[in-house]
Structure 1
């Protein structure tokens, strides 16, 4: 299963505003009957009918599964958290042809942090944990379940009530081992679901052999990768400023606009969260008060700034008022 390709397909569909490209089997996208333009990652059942992976639990008996998992040491609370995380996982690859929300940009940014900040340093590990926590938040995983999934020893760990922290992949494997797949009529679908869920864990926790890169042709596209962004921030901050200006340019292509929105997020997280006064360097570089005001409002609207009041303290509150 090529999750890199699936993630790039989601980005391409988001940027272009159309339906998803054909995914490689056994996974493919199916349009939601009740939500035209919403496409769910799916697999086929034993009769060849598509089932969305977000509905994978509909083909199992959850109470029976919970009983078997209790025999393995997992509590009902553990099972709630596991099933919630596995159910939400496929939403990472869902496609909505009509939606362009801050939630989507946040999701893209968190995934890119997980895929590109792979050095085993305290700084990278802290950023990956931050990205994981908020990725699960954007996938609508609640606080209790989010707190159970954390990085440790280079892997994703699941913190079970009795068993303690252990690899999330082991917990996922225990779920599927408890289903006794060979005797189930939905075994073909569940085999694909198992491969997807284990692949999803591996994809997020395991550094790529080569630096992970987007399949996206756009000016300054490299800056959407957090590792490149951080290196550029150290070496030539003005390249970051140029990308931020693209976020408010009506002439920017859809792909360039997507990149600039990701750069907004990175700039907020890695610069303004710690030193909000750094925005004054951006103001001086831009020069034009109107253009700077547009960029500042974009940072706030995007949610890249944790506390708008920090800008008020810098005397920039007038810049956040739209022109009349």
Structure 2
């Protein structure tokens, strides 16, 4: 499993302990189990072999095929006229890019076609790819490990978004990056959520703080204290699924967030919202509501495979540009990967 987290570089003033060894290690053997990320590298890009990159791009294109088919086919043998722009507008709206992002892209595209004197469909398609990449680029942000000890993450989302599964996948990836992880089953209202998280914990040999019934804020507080006492790297706190319209329940999420802060100054360090990519424009409404309530630091967009609504990322970028840390296109661990704007657009428009 290749890693895709950016790690905080080891401080230079801390010397490495040199222990004489009777037999020198072979040159290919790493001196330490983890190599700090080089700050000059592009943020959040996985360190992987070309074959692995190709495999991910193949799966990403397949996952976004329903969205991309409605867009990319427009440019096959097309003439550069008002009909093409009208069809492109309809395709973007059907992909749930939203009115704001659609108007922005079409206006910018028409201006670029005129200024650069683009005469064929391939050139117009390339121009659209460039504009869409520039629009989505602010959503691309590194997820850095090692900034806090422990780093406390609060995970929220509506029921059915894939929140608990996402937590399990992220925990496994963090372990692959040498991080010690603690999970907290803060969804005390749904027994299935606790049981699901316990299964992930057993599968990955991760401790799960859980109560059969009780106050979610108390479970979260206990988890933070336990993570601090054990000297762990990451504490991930699951929370009960909430609809943005359930105002009294959203207030409870705010309470959980405040109590986490009492357990550790500055926590939670990451407040993530998990979104089902199939919900389209409703996903944008969720981002607005949860961001207003919790001040989100990042998004995880799941289930993009099989949806024709992948354009919602453009809507988020225009209306509420909360960073998209990860996107998911399947059930496997490797199907959850960092969001990279250029990769996403390439899979979308080809």
Q: TM-score, normalised by structure 2?
A: 0.27
* Higher fraction of helix: 1
